[in-house]
Structure 1
Amino acid sequence: MFAAYASIFAAGSLYTNMQVSHSKEIANFHIVGINYKKTDAAIRGLYAINPAQYQQLLEHARTVQLDDLFVLSTCNRTEIYGFAASPGQFIDLLCSQTNGDRDQLLEMAYTKSGEEAIKHLYQVGTGLDSQILGDYEIIGQIKNAAKFAKNEKALGSFLERLVNSVLQVSKLIKTETGLSAGTVSVAFATVRMLERMVPDIRDKKIVLLGVGKIGRNTTKNMIDYLGVKEVTLINRTLLVAEEFASQHGLKYAPYENMLPVIHDADVILVASNAPHPTLLAEHLQNTTPKLVIDLSIPFNVDPAVAELEHISLVNVDELSKVQDETLQNRLSEVPKAIAIIGEHMEEFLYWYKMRKHAVVLKAVKEKLHEIHMREIQQQKNGAAYNLEDIEQVSGRIIQKMINLMAGKVRKETDKSDLYISMINDIFETGVNQE
């Protein structure tokens, strides 16, 4: 399998071919990525992209003439979408900014091109490809990833239009189907696991290390569903912990005082979202038994913690296995979601074809106008006539011819590429249809 992937990707290595040449033809639109289906959280963490790395990746992409792409990096996946001569160029691009090994990525990565790549983005954006079916948070992550690329001038018109279509489809599926109905998320799965593993959770002392979005959502769920009150918040920026604690009647402590607080805890939730482990095995030596739940990607709990006999360690991969009856209900909504995706993907592909044809039709109009003006010029020294009237009439004739050709192309969609190619050749417009 490795050899097969290697042969596909090798042709596109950025390091062996620095001058990248590719057209914006749909066949050159690719997605390369890894996700939860084939890799565990530890491996995904090696290829995760934080904002600083994202900016550096886009800057590096420009140096190798890759200028129309965006990167989606979440706890469950890292994917690059964009135009390139070969998917292998994205492999090298990703490895240039992460700690992951290129050979390992070649073996684990999946790649899709053309319409399959477009369909994949629709499925990801609507939660059909999520670890938790119908996960609605992913669409916000796609929106932010594309916005970041656009601000860095790395998002072309094709990708921007595609992302906007995916956003629209996601909203339709959210409102017209039950694919995202019910409460299922990492935060909620944490609550269900606590409910199962710690029956008397209300009486336990809980510490949340990292008061970001996931940490806040998990804490709110624990309060709402489990009725917990003994929660202490710890965050590197103390003000963040203080504000959230005051809103919900919780305790907070400075990051510098972490050790005595976690020693006294029964349950520790780690959502610090740091590039390196925050909670180490040495922090938990000679303490009372504890349940530690790592909600971060990459892992923020040192793997050595799992070797401590008095500590039970759970990570996001294990949390995602927590099934809920909600997921079964969502499965019945999948066909409706697929139908909506199919309809809007067809509209997007039609836009793409018409956009490509419009360039040729514009060039044909200019060519006809050139012929028209040349004929007018040749007649200026001939018999007397009203030049303005002739110019208006001939201009209308040119536009009617263009409208006639455009109408035929729109009507005969199966033959539209052939027609537009013939028109392009006949008038020798010089337009490259790729």
Structure 2
Amino acid sequence: MQGSYSKDIAHFHIVGINYKKTDAAIRGSFAINQSQYQHLLEDAKAIHMDDVFVLSTCNRTEIYGFADDPQQLVELVCRETNGDCNLFSQLSYIKSGEDAIRHLYQVGTGLDSQILGDYEIIGQIRTATRFAKEHGCLGGFQERLINSVLQVSKLIKNETGLSAGTVSVAFATVRLLESKVPDILNKKILLVGVGKIGRNTTKNIMDYLGVKQITLVNRTTTVAADFAGQHGLRYAPFEQLAEELEAADIILVASNAPEPTILPAHFTNSSSKLIIDLSIPFNVAPEVNDLPHVELINVDELSRIQDETLQMRLQEVPKAHAIIGEHMTEFLYWYKMRKHAVVLKAVKDKLHEIHTKEIQQQKNSAQYNLEDVEAVSSRIIQKMINLMAGKVRKETDKSDQYIAMINDIFETGVNQE
């Protein structure tokens, strides 16, 4: 069962934190992994909130859903994460109704991304909402909204230059390595974590820098072995992580462990290292940066690397907003018509109820004649007129509005002037 607020757009909220007010360390404390996401959805359903989904990426943690009070959404997130709920409330933003809908369009199209036009976010939204739907927590409203956002994202990508050029965290890593490591072809690179971010970063390094001296380490060795086999790279079992860290010159960390797995102890007697932590939460202990022979860079620092295509993307923002505005108007029209459909169905049910009662009363009467349909119909019509007239008499301050509406609906042609 859903709460009575569920169909009221005013009770649709988004609560979240993102890169604009929080650093990666704080975002990491509120990141939600798949297991936590499942528990959160179970908690939501337990309190009859079954139209909810969570978007947790390296740049944001946001929860979307219907609730009497947005604080209910805050509590769902905080119960599953390690962060302080008061801190989340202080740093978070809350949007409701049409503002919440507009925000989702902007997030889904890369307009709200740390790197403008980032197209990866739409895939993350698709994954997050699919998971919510599989667990019974995505209702008709949000499913329709997500489909509209997916469509708009595709249109903006195809019809504007908002996502043109190559600007992403993976490519920012390439730019960083270009500037910091001119002799990179002679360096040994280690990737820890062969998930999507790790794979994309590796592909970018190979494509743009021509590097092939890359070793892959993943908790599930078969994942590393498969990717290594596809691209002619070396892999090693997770049990050999310490040795591989010792041997590498450049270390890319893109794992998703809840706690840091790369520690100062790994580098006590090592050579100089450049470590790039692409993980949220961080998978490299911050104390590693205190070592004089180690340089540690995280995703926030990477995202500050600007590409020349960003200026061109900025020129495309008005076009993107125009496309969003058009499709958001269509979505809101659908929402209003959906509400009208509910009312019309209720009217139909009321008419059916009157009809059934009238027929039953006639059947119970000794004078009932099955063929006297005209008389029965007349009585039903009169009962409807009585209902409307009673409402008009009762609501005297709105009587003119009611009469005008009835006149318009039934197209009577009566001039009320």
What is the TM-score with the length of structure 2 in the denominator? 0.86
Counterpart position of 1:298: 281
Counterpart position of 1:41: 24
**Matching residue's letter, 1:64:** I
Counterpart position of 2:173: 190
**Matching residue's letter, 1:179:** L
Does structure 1 residue 155 correspond to structure 2 residue 126? no
- Tell me the distance in 2 between the aligned counterparts of 1:367 and 1:50: 48
Aligned 1:320-335 pairs, distance under 5 A: 320-335=303-318
Aligned 1:349-388 pairs, distance under 5 A: 349-372=332-355
- Tell me the distance in 1 between the aligned counterparts of 2:323 and 2:231: 40
- Tell me the distance in 2 between the aligned counterparts of 1:268 and 1:373: 76
**Matching residue's letter, 1:229:** K
- Tell me the distance in 1 between the aligned counterparts of 2:218 and 2:159: 40
Note the alpha carbon deviations across 1:160-182, whole angstroms, 9 max, x for none. Answer: 11111111111111111111111
Identity %: 69
State the SS of the aligned residue for 1:183. Answer: coil
**Matching residue's letter, 2:69:** S
Counterpart position of 1:407: none
Q: 1:382 offset after TM fit, Å?
A: 6.7
State the SS of the aligned residue for 2:276. Answer: strand
Counterpart position of 1:174: 157
**1:44/1:375 Cα in 2 relative to 1: closer, same or farther (>3 Å)?**
same
Q: 1:367 offset after TM fit, Å?
A: 2.5
1:80 paired residue among 59, 63, 84: 63
- Tell me the distance in 1 between the aligned counterparts of 2:46 and 2:362: 53
Q: 1:334 offset after TM fit, Å?
A: 0.7
Counterpart position of 2:13: 30
Between structure 1 and structure 2, the one with the greater Rg is 2
Conserved in 2, the CA contact under 8 Å of 1:30 and 1:83? yes
- Tell me the distance in 2 between the aligned counterparts of 1:338 and 1:387: 62
Aligned 1:253-292 pairs, distance under 5 A: 253-292=236-275
**1:246/1:371 Cα in 2 relative to 1: closer, same or farther (>3 Å)?**
closer
**1:419/1:357 Cα in 2 relative to 1: closer, same or farther (>3 Å)?**
farther
Q: 1:354 offset after TM fit, Å?
A: 0.9
State the SS of the aligned residue for 2:55. Answer: strand
Q: 1:274 offset after TM fit, Å?
A: 1.1
Counterpart position of 1:139: 122
- Tell me the distance in 1 between the aligned counterparts of 2:158 and 2:374: 56
Q: 1:259 offset after TM fit, Å?
A: 1.9
**1:385/1:83 Cα in 2 relative to 1: closer, same or farther (>3 Å)?**
closer
State the SS of the aligned residue for 1:80. Answer: strand
1:225 paired residue among 198, 208, 212: 208
Counterpart position of 1:107: 90
Counterpart position of 1:207: 190
**1:320/1:386 Cα in 2 relative to 1: closer, same or farther (>3 Å)?**
same
- Tell me the distance in 2 between the aligned counterparts of 1:124 and 1:363: 37
**1:361/1:314 Cα in 2 relative to 1: closer, same or farther (>3 Å)?**
same
For the aligned residue pairs, the C-alpha RMSD in angstroms reads 2.5
Does structure 1 residue 126 correspond to structure 2 residue 125? no
**Matching residue's letter, 1:154:** C
State the SS of the aligned residue for 1:90. Answer: helix
Aligned 1:2-41 pairs, distance under 5 A: 22-41=5-24
- Tell me the distance in 1 between the aligned counterparts of 2:101 and 2:237: 47
Q: 1:265 offset after TM fit, Å?
A: 1.4
Conserved in 2, the CA contact under 8 Å of 1:26 and 1:114? yes
- Tell me the distance in 1 between the aligned counterparts of 2:195 and 2:251: 15
Q: 1:223 offset after TM fit, Å?
A: 0.8
Structure 2: gaps of 5 or more residues: 386-400, 407-417
State the SS of the aligned residue for 1:224. Answer: helix
Greater alpha carbon shift after TM alignment, 126-135 vs 58-67: 58-67
Q: 1:357 offset after TM fit, Å?
A: 1.1
Question: Where do 4+ consecutive residues of structure 1 move more than 3 Å?
Answer: 19-23, 369-391
State the SS of the aligned residue for 2:32. Answer: coil
2:99 paired residue among 116, 119, 123: 116
Counterpart position of 1:242: 225
Note the alpha carbon deviations across 1:22-51, whole angstroms, 9 max, x for none. Answer: 443111110000000000110000000001
Structure 1: gaps of 5 or more residues: 1-18, 402-417, 424-434
**Matching residue's letter, 2:80:** Q
Q: 1:252 offset after TM fit, Å?
A: 1.3
Note the alpha carbon deviations across 1:100-158, whole angstroms, 9 max, x for none. Answer: 10111111000001100010001001110011111111111111111111111111111
- Tell me the distance in 2 between the aligned counterparts of 1:116 and 1:138: 19
Counterpart position of 1:92: 75
**Matching residue's letter, 1:151:** E
- Tell me the distance in 1 between the aligned counterparts of 2:402 and 2:139: 27
Counterpart position of 2:409: none
Counterpart position of 1:315: 298
Conserved in 2, the CA contact under 8 Å of 1:33 and 1:80? yes
- Tell me the distance in 1 between the aligned counterparts of 2:266 and 2:73: 39
Q: 1:366 offset after TM fit, Å?
A: 2.7
